[in-house]
Structure 1
Amino acid sequence: MNKQIILTAAVFGMLAVILGAFGAHALKAALPPQQIQIWNTGVQYQFYHVFALLFLSTFGRFKNNLIFASYCLFSLGILFFSGSLYLLSCSSILQWSWLHVLGPITPVGGLLFIAGWITLALAAIRYR
């Protein structure tokens, strides 16, 4: 098991629980349902990729560069995809006029997720 990946997954998992509860309780009264759905999508994809990170940890101490690449891509994907959704969903509360520039960041995070899954598949093909 890879301690670094497990610790990363643990932090992202803890944050997903906190952010999910925050969205369900604190934000529910402050945001319209459409914005809550955007928030929940961020939480949902963060959890999916926490489980992916935990799976990566079973490969040991970065058995190959593709596992390390998947780890980096999934982690950056969480930050870009879920992070941008969290901020975008709260744009009416935060009232930061520059938040609209994050719109294109979300698909970049999605592409990072896709690349992470591709590198994981390649690692499985090459794994002996």
Structure 2
Amino acid sequence: MRRDLERRGHRFVSNCDSELIAVYIADAIDQGEELEGAMRRSIDVIDGVFTYLVATSDQLGMAKDVMSAKPMVLYESDEFVGLASEEVAIRSIFPHEIDTWDPYQGEVKVWAA
């Protein structure tokens, strides 16, 4: 995938998987794909174990691979979306009890800003 993106003119500054995912999503958006569609497609085409977040100027997205091995905890209300690798990180900012959950295998969610 990296070689294909490089052939299309993208340059990488590291060998980090996170950079590959960022370039992949940016490339898909540059080609006119919506963020949610690009993230859903990434579940099928990226080989590996991953959970990632993407923030654009007007959206926040979360994707979790089908093996679901990487941690992700989610809290969502009408006013707030919280994502973290550990539940304690989200719970620590609220003075009251909240319900969090682990996204499903292969799940993609996108929120508008």
Which protein has the larger Cα radius of gyration, Structure 1 or Structure 2? 1
Fold equivalence (TM over 0.5): no
Higher relative contact order structure (alpha carbons within 8 Å, sequence separation ≥ 6) = 1
Range into which the TM-score falls when normalised by the shorter chain: under 0.3
Which one has the bigger strand percentage?
2
State the TM-score, normalizing by the size of structure 1.
0.23
